A and B are shown apart, each in its own frame.
Chain A
Amino acid sequence: MIEENRHKRDLRDSIDWKLIIVYIILVLIGWVNIYAAVHTSEPGAIYEWGVRSGKQLIWMLTAFSLAALILFVIPPKLWEVSSIPLYGFVFVLLIAVIFLSKDVNGSHSWFELGPVKFQPAEISKITTSLLLAAYMSRPNFRLGKLKDFIVTMAIIGLPMLSIVAESETGSALVYTGFIFVLYREGLSGWWLAFIGMAILLFITTLTLSPYSSIIILAAILTLCAVIKSPRKENRKRLLIGGSFVGVMALLPSLWRTAVKAVERRQAFLDSRYYVPQPGETDRFWWDFFPTFDPVWILVGLIAAALPFLVYHAYRHRDRFLGMSIVALVSGMIMVFSTEYIFNNILKDYQRGRIEVLLGIKEDLAGAGYNVNQSKIAIGSGGLFGKGYLQGTQTTLGFVPEQATDFIFCTVGEEWGFVGCLVIILLYVFLISRLIIDAERCRSPFTRIYGYCVAACIFMHLFINIGMTVGLMPVIGIPLPLLSYGGSSLWAFTILIFIFIALYRDEKKYF
């Protein structure tokens, strides 16, 4: 049946309407929530030009026209052909904006053309995706080849570095999402695991302690050992590794209890009527508790066990154990060098920035204030929310940037958990639909491009919502399609509709 119809496919069949419908729903949800966020500070109807929702309406209409243009006018083949010049042009813009733009809160990323302001960084996501797809879809491309690997990294890295130079570190972070595309195209899964683990250890070392980082590392390795090994060895490994990790995880709290007891005793000694003569000693052996960091006990135990483990791995040719030992030792070296570099080598202001980024220091530059207000707004929404236009937090101006980066607060407060669930499910549908469509494609260009789009949307989604609920540091990037702003809406519209056009083009011929 498909054979019969394949040359006669009409619009309705060849376009993935589901993607377009989800796109439109998300844009409309964004529009009404932008109005909810601003309706008190900018009174007026939702469509009035003086209100930001009115301006957003203009952006929406132009975005829809752009979408139609991409879908029906521009030949889809053009994208692959023009990917190099487009990439080059936008890269020039990215560099130029550093020198030509005004300083907006320390960042140099906006071009102003009369009344229109736009960020090259938004468009760069599109051109990078296009070039990446074009390069990686060449017939002889293999990630394993050094030259191909380096060129791939350069395509991602150049715009990323120039965006960092614009002081828009948050936007640059989005580019790390391309690693998922590389993974799909054959990058070893170990890279993902390695990078994920390094990020995890880096964050836990600075936010919790080196001790907890080592415990987390040990717990993950134990888990791997249990999953990896045959069933009969499972129980033994789980028992030994699990009990070691468990006991050591409890040690710091026991230690703190002991330290508190010692301090209480010393406070008691200080408060007595009788004052000991100089030289009369009140010290006991347990007074050493406060002076000693239990992390050294952990390190000592691991160091003592290492020779036995190495011997065991060597004798039984246990490659997994050997890898685990290397992972544990290199992980510990990384944890301690992170700690050392952070506390002893970094300058105060550098340390301050990282602390703000990780949320260790709350009130530097008011970043902690934003997250707290945002969490209050979302948290106060409850299960069903307060109702449209009924939110007190978002309408009273407690939440900063509530129409742009913090638009999700308005959703959380007025629509509650149910609203959040619906929106996140819509995004999950959008992203997974992109992935599934991409998988169906014959042309590697379309497939890779589709994955790039999915990765960009995913990174924006996770970082933005993660930021509003306090899972991620405050990084000012918009929520795709929902946040107020023409530059961002246009960029995501183009990004998505190029894929829809490519996909349709592909379907025409099969």
Chain B
Amino acid sequence: MTEGRHTKLLAGLGIAAAILLGKIFSLQVLDDSYKENADRNATVYETIYPTRGVIYDRNGNILVGNKVAYDIMVSPREVKEFDTLALAKVLGVEPDFIREKLNEYDRNRSRIGYQSQVMIRSLPSEIYMRFDEVNYRFPGFHGQVRSVRDYPINAGGNLLGYVSEVNPAYIKRHHGEYRSGDYAGMTGIEAARENDLRGEKGYHIYLRNSKNQIEQPYKDGAEDKEAVPGHDVTTTIDAPLQKYGQELMQNKVGSVVAIEPSTGEILALVSSPGIDVNALADIGKHYKEIAENPYKPMYNRAVSASYPPGSVFKLVNGLVGLEEGVLTPSNMYPCSQGYHFGAGRKLGCHSHKSPLDMEESIMMSCNAYYCYVLKNILDNKKYDNVAEGLDAWREYVMSFGFGRKLGSDFPAELSGNIPSSKTYNRAYKRGHWNSTTVISLSIGQGEILATPLHLANFCATLANRGYYYIPHIIKASEGVEIDPKYYEKQYTKVSLEHFPKVINGMWRAVNSGPGSGGTASIAAIPGLDVCGKTGTAQNPRGADNSVFICFAPRENPKIAVAAYVESGGFGANFAAPIASLMVEKYLKGEVARKDLEREKKNANLMSRVKKN
């Protein structure tokens, strides 16, 4: 029964030996990667960090530059006995800090191996110089010069974003591109343009001898690679205007967006409260405080907050009405403190002259007028039912960019919302709603939501009389390309001929003088034909939001601004003066209305805004 079993066992021995030899053969002869790894083990790579690209504003002012910082590095395996007290004194730290760090390295020694670790970050140069003089007394410790971000102008903190050391999760997400100790842009332009800004790391290779000391450059430096500096990035931001906008918005919650209509370039994009650039420079220390701020300064309201646009949206409805042929500028509608429908229900309005025509309806921001307009659009005979009418209206509105992402170069852009018939079919039973059900759409309330960027883009569309360029914040410059879509005119579905009629109303809203009933007289600037439209959006969370869009000059507009101030009251209270001051600052360089400027800068609305 057991005959021949020893032959089977011998055969098994042969197979086991063959398995081992096969594996060894594949390791030693077939697979080259282990040889490279061995070279890496026996050589020391000293990383040369590239300087990060500079970020400029549109006029060549530096928004983000670089300055030098000094890190104290330690190679734990090379540390010999040293005077802890002396080192602590030189570096200006507690001796216990150094002891604790060395203990920590000792605990992780198998992971660290021969690598250097950063012990202290970003020392001022005078301390570093002091350390450098006595460095020889502390084997295993050395200094490393590193370039850090520097912000000469306090403008655009949350646009620029911050740079910080990559964490393990980040390294994993960008597999192979980063290593521990690298820095990368985490938010804003620093993150969006990381690939342009970061440059390429270089390295010097040294050979270490069997006593683990660095002996000589590997192959006389033939395999070394020099670092390639990052590309500079030019933004479309106007630094003084951005800074001015931030000052006007201090102690208020909301957003101001300014666009150059002829290019779609964003001149200023203020989100308040914002992040101070000094906090960006040392984000590690301020991160917690910023993240815990109930007003969420990290959150870029200009592109990521959806608000009801309020009366500003009447302009859209007016244009759609004109295009659909259900409205002509000479149409007169009555308004008796509002629009009455059904059994005693009413959409209220303020007191003004009645009846009035289209230009006057814009100038005085009449609610009733646009109820008639929207009703005529939705109940148009050419559509079978109100659902079709609403979807036709939605298509017009979305052609202005509302209800979808505009495609700007902000990653966090929101799409807002423009309701379709499906929304209402779901809310009410199919057919159990009609144009009066959705009447608040006429005045930009209800289910309509738009970001301040949408409003500014709409304003630029008006300024251009019918088209826009996709708003963007990065300009093409040497080595930095931008998507060709930013050079293409985007037309709406409303014919160009209808725009001047609406713009007349906007001009009269601002320039009719006090007492005329124009809602935006406060935005008037002598010598500049400002055209604007106010909005006062109901805010379920507190006082009404103050909204204003305007552009100037009337002919060949240079700037289009949208301002949205949460809980700011009427459009004329805050949004209109702030937008108007921005226009004046940009076009005249100097603001003449010092009293208005002081009043708006000093106003504090924070207590009115509900915290999140």
Interface residues of A (CB under 8 A from B): 40, 180, 183-186, 273-275, 277-280, 363, 366, 369, 373, 375-383, 392-393, 395-398, 412, 416-417, 420-421, 424-425, 427-428, 431-432, 435-436, 438-439, 458, 462, 465-466, 469-471
Contact of B6 among A186, A373, A435 (CB under 8 A): A435
Contact of A392 among B5, B17, B38, B423 (CB under 8 A): B38
* CB-based contact A428/B404 at 8 Å: no
* CB-based contact A421/B42 at 8 Å: no
Known: A376-B34, A392-B42, A432-B10. A277 touches B422 (CB 8 A): yes
Interface CB pairs A-B, < 8 A, 19: A40-B210, A180-B9, A273-B405, A273-B406, A273-B407, A274-B404, A275-B415, A380-B34, A380-B37, A380-B39, A396-B208, A412-B24, A416-B28, A420-B21, A420-B24, A427-B17, A465-B20, A466-B20, A469-B27
Known: A398-B41, A417-B24, A466-B20. A378 touches B1 (CB 8 A): no
* CB-based contact A279/B28 at 8 Å: no
Residues of A within 8 A of B111 (CB): 363, 366, 369
Complex Cα gap A66–B419 (Å):
94
Complex Cα gap A391–B486 (Å):
59
Q: How distant is B438 from chain A, measured CB to nearest CB, in Å?
A: 14
Q: How distant is A273 from chain B, measured CB to nearest CB, in Å?
A: 4
* CB-based contact A435/B420 at 8 Å: no
Instruction: Report the 9 A-B pairs with minimum CB-CB distance, sorted nearest first.
Output: A379-B34, A380-B38, A392-B42, A379-B27, A273-B404, A376-B37, A417-B28, A40-B210, A275-B415
Residues of A within 8 A of B42 (CB): 392-393, 396
Q: How distant is A361 from chain B, measured CB to nearest CB, in Å?
A: 15
* CB-based contact A378/B34 at 8 Å: yes
B13-51 residues at the A interface, CB under 8 angstroms = 13-14, 16-17, 19-21, 23-25, 27-29, 31, 33-35, 37-39, 41-42
Contact of B2 among A185, A279, A383 (CB under 8 A): A185
Known: A379-B34, A392-B38, A428-B13. A277 touches B20 (CB 8 A): no
* CB-based contact A184/B404 at 8 Å: no
* CB-based contact B21/A421 at 8 Å: yes
Q: How distant is A451 from chain B, measured CB to nearest CB, in Å?
A: 8
* CB-based contact B41/A392 at 8 Å: yes
Closest to A466 in B: B20
* CB-based contact B28/A412 at 8 Å: yes
Contact of A279 among B31, B415, B426 (CB under 8 A): B426
* CB-based contact B20/A417 at 8 Å: no
Known: A280-B422, A417-B29. A184 touches B9 (CB 8 A): yes
Complex Cα gap A431–B24 (Å):
20
Convert B75-118 into 0s and 1s, putting 1 for each residue whose CB lies closer than 8 angstroms to a CB of A: 00000000000000000000000000000000000110100000
Complex Cα gap A425–B13 (Å):
11
Known: A378-B24, A378-B28. A366 touches B110 (CB 8 A): yes
Within 8 Å of chain A (Cβ to Cβ): is B212?
yes
Contact of A376 among B21, B23, B38 (CB under 8 A): B38
Convert B201-213 into 0s and 1s, putting 1 for each residue whose CB lies closer than 8 angstroms to a CB of A: 0000000101110
* CB-based contact A186/B2 at 8 Å: yes
Contact of B34 among A363, A375, A395 (CB under 8 A): A375
Convert B425-465 into 0s and 1s, putting 1 for each residue whose CB lies closer than 8 angstroms to a CB of A: 01000000000000000000000000000000000000000
Supplied contacts A183-B9, A366-B110, A470-B23, 19 more A-B pairs, CB within 8 Å = A40-B211, A273-B407, A277-B419, A369-B111, A373-B41, A378-B27, A379-B28, A379-B33, A383-B29, A392-B38, A396-B41, A396-B210, A417-B25, A428-B14, A432-B10, A435-B9, A436-B6, A465-B20, A466-B20
Residues of A within 8 A of B35 (CB): 379-380, 382
Interface centre among B1, B25, B42 (most CB of A within 10 A): B42
* CB-based contact B404/A275 at 8 Å: yes
Complex Cα gap A484–B113 (Å):
24
Interface centre among A381, A412, A436, A470 (most CB of B within 10 A): A381
* CB-based contact A279/B422 at 8 Å: yes
Interface centre among B5, B38, B407, B420 (most CB of A within 10 A): B38
Complex Cα gap A112–B530 (Å):
95
Complex Cα gap A196–B25 (Å):
25
Complex Cα gap A277–B420 (Å):
8
* CB-based contact B41/A420 at 8 Å: no
Interface centre among A375, A376, A438 (most CB of B within 10 A): A376
Closest to B413 in A: A273
Q: How distant is B208 from chain A, measured CB to nearest CB, in Å?
A: 8
